[in-house]
Structure 1
Amino acid sequence: MALVTFIELKAGTGKIQPTNLTAQAKVFTVESGALIVQLDSYGSADREIPSKQSQTLQFGEEAAHQLYRILKDTYKFQD
Protein backbone atom coordinates (compact mmCIF):
# COMPACT_ATOMS: atom_id res chain seq x y z
CA MET A 1 0.00 0.00 0.00
CA ALA A 2 1.27 3.47 -0.81
CA LEU A 3 0.11 7.06 -0.65
CA VAL A 4 1.02 8.72 -3.94
CA THR A 5 2.26 12.25 -3.23
CA PHE A 6 3.47 13.33 -6.67
CA ILE A 7 2.99 12.17 -10.25
CA GLU A 8 5.51 13.12 -12.89
CA LEU A 9 4.63 12.68 -16.57
CA LYS A 10 7.52 10.96 -18.29
CA ALA A 11 8.03 10.74 -22.03
CA GLY A 12 8.64 7.32 -23.45
CA THR A 13 7.11 4.20 -24.86
CA GLY A 14 5.56 1.15 -23.31
CA LYS A 15 3.65 -1.98 -24.09
CA ILE A 16 0.24 -3.19 -23.03
CA GLN A 17 0.36 -5.72 -20.21
CA PRO A 18 -0.98 -9.17 -21.06
CA THR A 19 -2.88 -9.64 -17.79
CA ASN A 20 -6.37 -8.24 -17.22
CA LEU A 21 -7.66 -7.65 -13.72
CA THR A 22 -10.35 -5.93 -11.74
CA ALA A 23 -9.90 -2.79 -9.67
CA GLN A 24 -12.10 -1.06 -7.13
CA ALA A 25 -12.09 2.57 -6.07
CA LYS A 26 -13.21 3.97 -2.73
CA VAL A 27 -13.18 7.41 -1.16
CA PHE A 28 -12.72 8.09 2.53
CA THR A 29 -11.86 10.93 4.87
CA VAL A 30 -8.84 10.86 7.18
CA GLU A 31 -8.61 12.44 10.64
CA SER A 32 -7.36 15.75 9.21
CA GLY A 33 -10.51 15.99 7.09
CA ALA A 34 -8.65 15.36 3.82
CA LEU A 35 -10.28 13.13 1.24
CA ILE A 36 -8.36 10.12 -0.06
CA VAL A 37 -9.17 8.15 -3.21
CA GLN A 38 -7.96 4.56 -2.96
CA LEU A 39 -7.58 2.13 -5.87
CA ASP A 40 -7.27 -1.56 -5.08
CA SER A 41 -6.32 -4.06 -7.76
CA TYR A 42 -7.12 -7.73 -7.53
CA GLY A 43 -5.31 -10.75 -8.89
CA SER A 44 -6.16 -12.19 -12.27
CA ALA A 45 -7.88 -15.53 -12.76
CA ASP A 46 -4.47 -17.10 -13.46
CA ARG A 47 -3.01 -16.36 -10.03
CA GLU A 48 -2.58 -18.90 -7.28
CA ILE A 49 -5.29 -17.11 -5.29
CA PRO A 50 -7.58 -15.48 -7.88
CA SER A 51 -9.25 -12.21 -6.91
CA LYS A 52 -6.92 -11.67 -3.93
CA GLN A 53 -6.16 -7.99 -3.32
CA SER A 54 -2.86 -7.27 -4.97
CA GLN A 55 -1.97 -3.57 -4.96
CA THR A 56 -3.34 -0.49 -3.22
CA LEU A 57 -2.66 3.08 -4.29
CA GLN A 58 -3.99 6.07 -2.35
CA PHE A 59 -4.22 9.59 -3.78
CA GLY A 60 -4.49 12.84 -1.88
CA GLU A 61 -5.87 15.92 -3.58
CA GLU A 62 -2.61 17.13 -5.16
CA ALA A 63 -1.63 13.78 -6.69
CA ALA A 64 -5.22 13.15 -7.78
CA HIS A 65 -5.24 16.52 -9.55
CA GLN A 66 -1.98 15.67 -11.31
CA LEU A 67 -3.43 12.34 -12.46
CA TYR A 68 -6.63 14.08 -13.57
CA ARG A 69 -4.64 16.53 -15.73
CA ILE A 70 -2.66 13.69 -17.33
CA LEU A 71 -5.84 11.73 -18.09
CA LYS A 72 -7.69 14.80 -19.34
CA ASP A 73 -4.87 15.87 -21.64
CA THR A 74 -4.23 12.35 -22.92
CA TYR A 75 -7.83 11.36 -23.65
CA LYS A 76 -9.15 14.88 -24.38
CA PHE A 77 -11.78 14.63 -21.62
CA GLN A 78 -14.13 17.59 -21.43
CA ASP A 79 -15.10 19.22 -18.12
Structure 2
Amino acid sequence: MALIEDFEESQADGPPRSRTRVTCGYRTVEIDGIRAVQLSTYGSSERKIPGKTSQTIEIDRAHAAELIDILKSAFPGMS
Protein backbone atom coordinates (compact mmCIF):
# COMPACT_ATOMS: atom_id res chain seq x y z
CA MET A 1 0.00 0.00 0.00
CA ALA A 2 1.25 3.48 -0.77
CA LEU A 3 0.54 6.91 0.72
CA ILE A 4 0.68 9.45 -2.11
CA GLU A 5 3.38 11.97 -1.34
CA ASP A 6 3.40 14.02 -4.54
CA PHE A 7 1.67 14.41 -7.88
CA GLU A 8 3.54 15.15 -11.09
CA GLU A 9 2.14 15.38 -14.58
CA SER A 10 3.57 12.66 -16.78
CA GLN A 11 3.99 12.73 -20.52
CA ALA A 12 2.36 10.09 -22.70
CA ASP A 13 4.75 7.56 -24.18
CA GLY A 14 2.83 5.97 -27.00
CA PRO A 15 -0.84 5.18 -27.48
CA PRO A 16 -3.07 4.49 -24.48
CA ARG A 17 -3.04 0.90 -23.27
CA SER A 18 -6.21 -1.12 -23.22
CA ARG A 19 -8.29 -0.86 -20.06
CA THR A 20 -9.80 -3.48 -17.86
CA ARG A 21 -12.90 -2.38 -15.97
CA VAL A 22 -12.69 -3.04 -12.25
CA THR A 23 -14.36 -2.05 -9.00
CA CYS A 24 -12.65 0.42 -6.67
CA GLY A 25 -13.40 0.13 -2.99
CA TYR A 26 -12.77 3.01 -0.62
CA ARG A 27 -12.65 3.60 3.10
CA THR A 28 -11.35 6.16 5.57
CA VAL A 29 -8.41 5.03 7.68
CA GLU A 30 -6.12 6.52 10.28
CA ILE A 31 -2.59 5.16 10.51
CA ASP A 32 0.11 6.73 12.67
CA GLY A 33 -2.14 9.75 13.23
CA ILE A 34 -2.61 10.38 9.50
CA ARG A 35 -6.22 10.30 8.30
CA ALA A 36 -6.50 9.19 4.69
CA VAL A 37 -8.87 7.81 2.11
CA GLN A 38 -7.76 4.37 1.01
CA LEU A 39 -8.63 3.29 -2.54
CA SER A 40 -8.29 -0.36 -3.56
CA THR A 41 -8.91 -1.91 -6.95
CA TYR A 42 -9.93 -5.52 -7.26
CA GLY A 43 -8.87 -8.00 -9.92
CA SER A 44 -11.12 -8.22 -12.95
CA SER A 45 -12.93 -11.38 -14.00
CA GLU A 46 -10.02 -12.14 -16.36
CA ARG A 47 -7.49 -12.29 -13.52
CA LYS A 48 -6.20 -15.53 -12.02
CA ILE A 49 -7.97 -14.67 -8.74
CA PRO A 50 -10.95 -12.43 -9.63
CA GLY A 51 -11.91 -9.95 -6.92
CA LYS A 52 -8.56 -10.11 -5.10
CA THR A 53 -7.16 -6.71 -4.08
CA SER A 54 -4.89 -5.65 -6.90
CA GLN A 55 -3.50 -2.32 -5.73
CA THR A 56 -4.13 0.10 -2.87
CA ILE A 57 -3.26 3.78 -2.52
CA GLU A 58 -3.92 6.27 0.24
CA ILE A 59 -4.53 10.00 -0.08
CA ASP A 60 -4.26 12.34 2.91
CA ARG A 61 -6.12 15.65 3.25
CA ALA A 62 -3.48 17.88 1.65
CA HIS A 63 -3.04 15.62 -1.34
CA ALA A 64 -6.80 15.14 -1.68
CA ALA A 65 -7.09 18.91 -2.15
CA GLU A 66 -4.36 18.78 -4.79
CA LEU A 67 -6.11 15.88 -6.54
CA ILE A 68 -9.38 17.84 -6.58
CA ASP A 69 -7.56 20.68 -8.38
CA ILE A 70 -6.11 18.21 -10.90
CA LEU A 71 -9.57 16.72 -11.55
CA LYS A 72 -11.16 20.15 -11.98
CA SER A 73 -8.44 21.02 -14.51
CA ALA A 74 -8.96 17.76 -16.39
CA PHE A 75 -12.76 18.07 -16.38
CA PRO A 76 -13.66 21.77 -16.88
CA GLY A 77 -17.03 22.75 -15.47
CA MET A 78 -16.85 20.19 -12.67
CA SER A 79 -17.86 21.78 -9.39
Task: Tell me, yes or no, whether TM beats 0.5.
Answer: yes
Partner-residue secondary structure (3-state), 1:26: strand
After superposition, the CA RMSD in angstroms is 1.8
Structure 1 portions without partners, runs of 5+: none
- 1:11 is displaced (CA, Å) by 4.2
- 1:25 is displaced (CA, Å) by 1.2
1:25 match: 26
The count of corresponding residues between Structure 1 and Structure 2 is: 77
2:65 match: 65
- 1:17 is displaced (CA, Å) by 3.0
Report 1:1-79 matches (<5 A).
Answer: 1-12=1-12, 15=16, 17-32=18-33, 34-76=34-76, 77-78=78-79
Identical columns (%): 31
- 1:12 is displaced (CA, Å) by 3.6
- 1:31 is displaced (CA, Å) by 4.5
> Could you tell me which amino acid in structure 1 is paired with residue 38 of structure 2?
Q
**Greater RCO (CA < 8 Å, at least 6 residues apart):** 1
Partner-residue secondary structure (3-state), 2:56: strand
CA distance in 2, matches of 1:17, 1:3: 26
Structure 2 portions without partners, runs of 5+: none
Conservation of the 8 A alpha-carbon contact between 1:43 and 1:54 = yes
